[in-house]
Amino acid sequence: MEEYKKVIEELIKFRNDRDWEQFHDSKNLALAISIEAAELNELFLWKKDNETENVKIEKLKEELADVLSFSFLLAEKHNLNIFDIVLEKIKQNAEKYPVDKAKGTAKKYNEL
């Protein structure tokens, strides 16, 4: 948790030093997450299944950091604890996807 707070503090300092908070409304942060996620997906575009695990790790780190950074900023803007919301989502998914029905299948919960 301490590392998370340090990351948030560093992100906010970086943003504030550049006077970028004015651009970081919820809509723009959500759009930035989507755009950065598309850039992450681009690393895998046109690769065969056996090639997808061999992406350039430095590029993967960069794009993943961008997605996470904007996600952290959006969560912080709404006073959301990322650990709490992820744990809550896992609990919701556990109810939607009980082990006895979902194990080993990629079917959606309404198809189980």
Give per-10-residue mean pLDDT for the chain (112 aa): 91 98 98 98 94 93 98 97 96 94 88 84
The whole-angstrom distance between residue 54's C-alpha and the CA centroid of its chain comes to 21
> CATH assignment of 2-80?
1.10.287.1080
- Indicate the domain borders of the chain: 2-80, 81-112
Distance (Å) of CA 25 to CA 31, 73, 95, 98: 10, 10, 33, 37
Q: Residue length, the chain?
A: 112
Q: What is the pLDDT of residue 81?
A: 94
Which residues lie below 8 Å from residue 64, measured CB to CB, with a gap of 6+? 40
Measure Cα distances from 98 to 7, 85, 93, 103 in Å: 34, 20, 8, 8
